[in-house]
Amino acid sequence: MTIAEKILARKSGQAKVGPGDLVTVEVDTVVLIDNSFTASRWREILKVRDPDRIVVVFDHRVPASTQDSAAAHRTGRRFVQKFGIKRFHDVGYDQGISHQLVADHGYALPGTVLVCSDSHTCSAGVFNCIARGVGEPDVIYSAIKGETWFRVGETVRYELAGRLSPAVTTKDAFLQIAGTHGDHATQNIEFGGPGIAGLSIAARKTLTTMGAELSAEFATFEADDAMLDWIRARRTEKSAQPLEAVVPDKDAKYAAVRKVDLAALEPLVAFPDTVIENSKPVAAAAGTRIDQAFIGSCANGTLDDLELAARILKGRRVAPGTRLLITPGSQAVFREAARRGIVTTLAEAGAVVTPSTCGACGGGHLGILGPGETCITASTRNFKGRMGDPSARIYMASSATVAASAIMGAIADPREFIN
């Protein structure tokens, strides 16, 4: 069995599962976000199975951008108080995007099942678990009953090899996969191979997070010492069971096994309206005038991304007429970036560093695009109307490409600024 199949089998109490099977599985972690508590979605819950399995995060409209979002936060706080939820991330010190907080705090463990109503929940698969965005009713059901169901899909495995060059990131690896292989609807994605050893946890997390844009069911990584050490450093449970990595069987059956040579990648750009079969080398878009550049989101608001942007921007300025917005994935990321002087470098270059929130990525606030504007973004989506006005054009690229473009006021190749 593949990694996803093994976890689904164990969590459903079966010896073996395969593509096409329907399984009811135990849910280890349920993440509720502020959107869950909006008046149009929320239904009063009378009981939960285990408050210690629930995480509540305010992230999409933080700080509250409307009266409705403020009311949703109020409802969420009452829910937390009612059931004594300990893992609560309100506006303030522990604020952040839910998927980044899952990484910051080690909420996702190998071999477990995690659900949330946000589509990019697959981000947590970087920790050798299965995680998925599900419908709001399914999230509530999981909180109440401690279980949910999935149909087992086929798995596509990506073997990563080589090392990335300085101006290339795993966002470029994703864009190559999306551009070459298209969507992976009803399929799982499994990442492995010797190339993962040269990737930070943040770099790996970009790949699993962007699995949502391939319409994948689950996106998982093989475990290694770096990942296990990351979790051990963040676990707080004194009686926690030893971590047990899930490895695919040697005879696991895959829909396809594909190789990605990280060393051969170049900076890529997804042109407006979709990432599927729409990626081209940065040269194809170079010179396209931009109004806004954005670095952030659950995929690219990591410390790695902010540090890379600062390396490119150091001693330079954002072009006149161009807005560069940078949103750390969590306040913990922001604090560390501030401690290292990264925030100062970004601000001196003319970037606006915002609070940790989904913000501009989903067109909620803190950077909405106006009519006819052009943006290059290192976030999760570029479909029409995603970040504001439907007439705006959204290009997607790595944080390196976005930072380089902000300097030029037009889409630019980051290799011109970093060796």
Tens digits of residue pLDDT in 228-239: 999 999 987 654
Which segments of 48-135 does DSSP mark as H helices, in order? Answer: 67-83, 98-105
Report pLDDT for 238.
53
Report pLDDT for 2.
98
Report pLDDT for 364.
86
- Tell me the pLDDT tens digit for each residue of 7-47: 999 999 999 999 999 999 999 999 999 999 998 888 889 99
Residue in 337, 352, 347 with CA at minimum distance from that of residue 292:
352
Pick the CATH number of 270-416 from 3.50.40.10, 3.90.1150.10, 1.10.3720.10, 3.30.499.10: 3.30.499.10
Q: Average pLDDT of 101-125?
A: 97
Confidence band, pLDDT 50/70/90 cuts, at residue 373: very high
β-pairing, 155-161 with 256-261? parallel
Please identify which residue in the block is written with the tokens 């002087």.
341
- Tell me the pLDDT tens digit for each residue of 162-197: 999 999 999 999 999 999 999 999 999 999 999 999
Report pLDDT for 286.
98
pLDDT at 339 over 70: yes
Report pLDDT for 44.
86
* Cα separation, 143 vs 164, whole angstroms: 40
Asked if 406 and 283 touch (Cβ cutoff 8 Å), the reply is no
Is the fold of 3-261 the same as that of 270-416? yes
Give the orientation angle of helix 331-339 with respect to helix 303-313, to 10 degrees. 40
Question: Please, what is the Cα angle at 121 between 6 and 257, to 5 degrees?
Answer: 50
- Tell me the pLDDT tens digit for each residue of 386-416: 999 999 999 999 999 999 999 999 999 999 9
Residue extents of the structural domains in the chain:
3-261, 270-416
Please identify which residue in the block is written with the tokens 């970004």.
346
pLDDT at 303 over 90: yes
pLDDT at 81 over 90: yes
What is the reported pTM?
Answer: 0.96
Write the CATH number of the domain with boundaries 3-261.
3.30.499.10
Confidence band, pLDDT 50/70/90 cuts, at residue 240: low
> Read out DSSP for 14-56?
-S---TT-EEEEE-SEEEEEGGGGSTTT----S--S-GGGEEE
Asked if 103 and 121 touch (Cβ cutoff 8 Å), the reply is no
pLDDT at 243 over 90: no
